[in-house]
Amino acid sequence: MMQKDTETDAYVAHQAKRMLSFAMYRKLKSVVDSWEREERAKAKVVAGAAYGLVVWIALVVIAALLLPRFTLLFALGATLVWLVFVITLMRKHLRAPDRRS
């Protein structure tokens, strides 16, 4: 009877270690996956901001050629629009995902 208890205890200990190992693996995998999602989202934000900046520069150059008196005013307004655009991109791509399951 004593040997059976020892085998059972060893089996239970082994299974407990496996369960703990699996739980740690799943937790670490979820952390790494969240990092990867965040890095992809940051890349999208940077790309969108860079494209927006190119458009901003083009519009300021066009405004300087067409309406030189209002270039500074247009540049300030376009800068505010670009900042709002970048903040919107950040809110869209970098917010926490919904936890609905």
Q: pLDDT for 8-25, tens place per residue?
A: 888 888 889 999 999 999
Are 71 and 18 within 8 A, CB to CB?
Answer: no
| Single-letter code of the amino acid located at 67 | L
Q: Does 100 score more than 80 pLDDT?
A: no
Which region among 1-5, 41-45, 76-80 has the lowest average model confidence (pLDDT)? 1-5
Q: What is the pLDDT of residue 3?
A: 63
Q: What is the pLDDT of residue 94?
A: 84
Q: Which residues contact 98 (CB under 8 A, 6 or more apart)?
A: none
| Single-letter code of the amino acid located at 8 | T
pTM for the model = 0.67
Q: Does 97 score more than 80 pLDDT?
A: no
> Token pair for residue 71?
């270039």
